[in-house]
Amino acid sequence: MARAGESPAVLLLDLKLPKVDGLEVLEQMWSDEALKMIPVVVLTSYREERDMVASYTLGVKAHVVKLVDVHESVNAANELGIFWAVINEPPPGSFRRR
């Protein structure tokens, strides 16, 4: 969820997007000073070592394989959001807390 005038606490990114590759999204983010401090968590439905290595090289903070059960996946995503938005201490100046 975006907060007015602030960067998101975390970006959940699927590498297999319909029109653009998630790794391309990461490359664009890391080339933009305003975006590269946003922590990115990759959510994926597969374990592709090549993509994992590439995403970590591009600064991804975590790589999570989606759960089969939809309710479990939603709960896991909520817990990830809580960790990054509430528990994690971001680098100074990366975004303001509420």
Paired sense of beta strands 11-13 and 40-44, if any:
parallel
Residue 94 has pLDDT above 60, yes or no: no
CATH code of the domain made up of 11-87: 3.40.50.2300
List, edge to edge, every strand of the sheet that includes 11-13: 11-13, 40-44, 62-65
Q: Is the model more confident about 23 or about 3? A: 23
pLDDT in tens, 29-67: 888 888 888 889 888 877 888 988 999 998 898 888 877
Tell me the mean pLDDT in the region 12-24: 88
pTM of the model: 0.72
Domain ranges, ordered by start, for the chain: 11-87
- From CA 26, how far away is CA 35, in angstroms rounded? 10
Binned at pLDDT 50, 70 and 90, residue 24 comes out as very high
For residues 33 and 61, the answer to whether their CB atoms sit within 8 Å is no
Q: How high is the pLDDT of residue 93?
A: 61
CA distance 44 to 41: 10
Distance (Å, whole) CA 54 – CA 49: 9
